[in-house]
Amino acid sequence: MGLSTVTRGSLARRLVVLACVTLLPAGAMAQWVIGQTSGFTGAVAAGVKENTDGAKLWFDHVNAQGGIHGQRVELVSMDDKFDPKLAAANARVLINDKGAIALFMNRGTPHTEAIKPLLAEFKVPLVAPSTGAMVLHQPVDPWIFNVRATYQREVQRAIAHLATIGLTKLAVVHVDDTFGADCAEGARKGFEATKLKPLFTEKFDRAKPDFAPIADKLAKSDAQALLFFGAAGSVAEGTKIIRAKGSQAQIVTVSNNASGGFIKLMGEHARGTIVTQVFPNERSVSTPMVKEAMELAAAKGLSELSPAMLEGYAGAKVLVEGLRRAGPKANRQSLQAALNGMRKVDIGGLEVSFSPTDHTGLDFADLSIIGANGKFQR
């Protein structure tokens, strides 16, 4: 028995609707899908969790207010175990299978480099990667929109400070990957600017670090400070071995370790560690973005912010503003255009600017020291 005219008409309409939904570009659905691949387990897990918690503060707030153009923000996160190959594989899933309109806040320099070819292939923006690698700033990648300052700027700031307070016997230890090399280049520039020379520079393997020989060398060198560049777990492990070998050198690291999780990993050796920062003091209520984030965190029962949470929060604010400007029918390319058009956008006491020739976003760099209370002090 054949279908009635009404039934056939109803079925046809359903098929048309289904076809339209299937063919809609990413982002034109009921939700803005944002893809994130990062090391939720492994050496950087603590900082990654805090980055993501901070981002969710703003995404959840935006959704509670009705979303962006009536559509919710859905953050889809995948664990890449801090493995560049898995980061690339995850990114492909997020782009092709999940239909992400943008990628967001992945962690790691080699990991971002592994993702870069996919951004160009599928024309998808990556907003606020949690790395300050210079290679992501210069030359400008049309699909990468940085929100934080470079590691090189942080390292130069740290060396200038050490020289100012009379610490001139400095050593450098860095992970043997593109992140470590980038920090080492920042150190070279910092030494050049202060007319200092490092006592030595050593590398360690990211997957299987052996800190004992480095700790022996440091103890014999009479170094006053060690510029130590690596993931939180590596810096914490290395510091414990360094102290056990007898060196009392001041430990100085960069903002990839600006998390409460890093302080916990450092344990009894946390106090006195200098950590460079790329956002204002996370307890500064005079900074509107910080005050706003603190209030949203308190509403969720969180007792305090960390610098890593603030980085995630700032990145989320930039991405949301880009989506708002891209309009209700935004796709990946119109989002890119909207981000490129952002000039001196105030995200709460900080101004973010992008253009087709500048994707740095912010250039803020500061220093903190871990106090006896286990908190970052400015």
Q: Let me know whether 273 and 235 are in one domain.
A: yes
Sequence-distant (≥ 6) Cβ neighbours of residue 40 within 8 angstroms:
48, 49, 52, 77, 79, 81
Domain end point (choices 277, 301, 318): 277
Q: How far apart are CA 145 and CA 184, in angstroms?
A: 23
Q: Which two tokens stand for residue 131?
A: 């790395």
Q: Let me know whether 44 and 126 are in one domain.
A: yes
Domain end point (choices 229, 257, 277): 277
Peptide bond into 139 cis (omega under 30): yes
Q: How far apart are CA 234 and CA 189, in angstroms?
A: 24
Helix (H, G, I), strand (E, B) or coil at 275: strand
229 phi, psi to nearest 5 deg: -115, 110
Cα dihedral: 91, 96, 102, 108 (round 10): 0
Q: Considering the domain boundaries, does residue 25 fall inside one?
A: no
Q: Considering the domain boundaries, does residue 12 fall inside one?
A: no
Q: Considering the domain boundaries, does residue 65 fall inside one?
A: yes
Maximal CA-CA distance, the chain: 94
118 phi, psi to nearest 5 deg: -70, -35
CATH classification at residue 359: 3.40.50.2300
Q: Considering the domain boundaries, does residue 249 fall inside one?
A: yes
Q: Considering the domain boundaries, does residue 74 fall inside one?
A: yes
Q: Let me know whether 143 and 155 are in one domain.
A: no
Q: Let me know whether 245 and 183 are in one domain.
A: yes
pTM: 0.87
Question: Counting Cβ atoms within 10 Å, is residue 64 exposed (0-12), middle (13-18) or buried (19+)?
Answer: exposed
Q: From first to last of the 378 residues of the chain, give the pLDDT tens digit.
A: 344 443 344 444 334 333 433 444 443 346 999 999 999 999 899 999 999 999 999 999 999 999 999 999 999 999 999 999 999 999 999 999 999 999 999 999 999 999 999 999 999 999 999 999 999 999 999 999 999 999 999 999 999 999 999 999 999 999 999 999 999 999 999 999 999 999 999 999 999 999 999 999 999 999 999 999 999 999 999 999 999 999 999 999 999 999 999 999 999 999 999 999 999 999 999 999 999 999 999 999 998 899 999 999 999 999 999 999 999 999 999 999 999 999 999 999 999 999 999 999 998 999 999 999 999 999
- What local confidence, expressed as pLDDT, does residue 30 receive? 67
Q: Which domain holds residue 225?
A: 151-277
Q: Let me know whether 251 and 306 are in one domain.
A: no
pLDDT in tens, 290-328: 999 999 999 999 988 999 999 999 999 999 999 999 999
Q: How far apart are CA 291 and CA 135, in angstroms?
A: 33
Q: Considering the domain boundaries, does residue 7 fall inside one?
A: no
Question: Counting Cβ atoms within 10 Å, is residue 364 exposed (0-12), middle (13-18) or buried (19+)?
Answer: middle
Domain end point (choices 277, 294, 316): 277
Q: Let me know whether 144 and 292 are in one domain.
A: yes
Q: Considering the domain boundaries, does residue 190 fall inside one?
A: yes
Q: How far apart are CA 147 and CA 155, in angstroms?
A: 18
Contact by Cβ (8 Å): 48, 111: no
Q: Let me know whether 215 and 191 are in one domain.
A: yes
- What local confidence, expressed as pLDDT, does residue 303 receive? 84
Q: Let me know whether 247 and 312 are in one domain.
A: no
Q: Let me know whether 155 and 266 are in one domain.
A: yes
Q: Let me know whether 209 and 224 are in one domain.
A: yes
Total domains, the chain = 2
Q: Let me know whether 38 and 183 are in one domain.
A: no
pLDDT in tens, 80-124: 999 999 999 999 999 999 999 999 999 999 999 999 999 999 999
Q: Considering the domain boundaries, does residue 216 fall inside one?
A: yes
Q: Is the dihedral of CA 270, 272, 273, 279 positive or negative?
A: positive
Q: Let me know whether 343 and 271 are in one domain.
A: no
**Cα separations in angstroms, 190 against 27, 53, 132, 252:** 44, 33, 16, 14
